[in-house]
Amino acid sequence: MGKRIKLDYVPIDSLKPFAGNPRKLTEQGLEKIKRSIEEFDFINPVLAQQGTNMIIAGHQRIKAARAVGLTEVPVIWLDMDDTTAKAYNIADNRLQDEAEWDKHLLGDVFQDIDTGELDLTVTGFDPDEISSLLAADYGPIDLEAYLDELDMSEAIDKPIWATIRTKAENQEVLERVFAVLEQNGIRVERSYDTGA
């Protein structure tokens, strides 16, 4: 930890792919990366092993860079032995799978950038996905109506965990919902973010 990294711009042909790279790219994925590079430039550096020039992370970006005619890319050199470099290659690819999208926030961002100035598919999302996110109604929930419809007659055997994100002015209504839940034997833990 704490080592400073070195960034260089190098000819693509000087980099050597990791022959055992287990992550493969579809043609559709390659097209998305090419479009991203064409729109935003090549701004996410390749990670390569210092001394061998073996690509640790960025194989797909290199393919896309070649396809759009780039001859040079930014590289961060990592001083790693072969075992560590290969382990990091797997980790770099696998850890991306652990992230999830917050559809509400993602929809908000798409609404913010939907100005007509940018083809939103450069984000890597398909037109149908974008349309769905833009059309989704994440507007306010009528908590009063929900509270009236809440059926607490059934016994609850398993814990239910929920995170509710809402504006501060909804706190009073939420407290009423929580009170009904607590009256029916459901423990409620509260944590309010005041934004301070």
Whole-model pTM: value is 0.65
Yes or no: is domain 6-97 CATH 3.90.1530.10?
yes
Residue in this structure with the two tokens 């050597």, named with its chain if needed = 16
Q: What is the pLDDT of residues 134-157, one digit of tens each?
A: 887 655 666 667 666 766 666 666
Instruction: Indicate the domain borders of the chain.
Output: 6-97, 103-135, 143-184
Question: H helices of 68-189, where?
Answer: 82-94, 103-113, 127-135, 143-149, 171-183
Q: What is the pLDDT of residues 49-69, one digit of tens each?
A: 999 999 999 999 999 999 999
User: Sheet harboring 55-57: ordered strands across?
Assistant: 6-11, 72-78, 46-49, 55-57
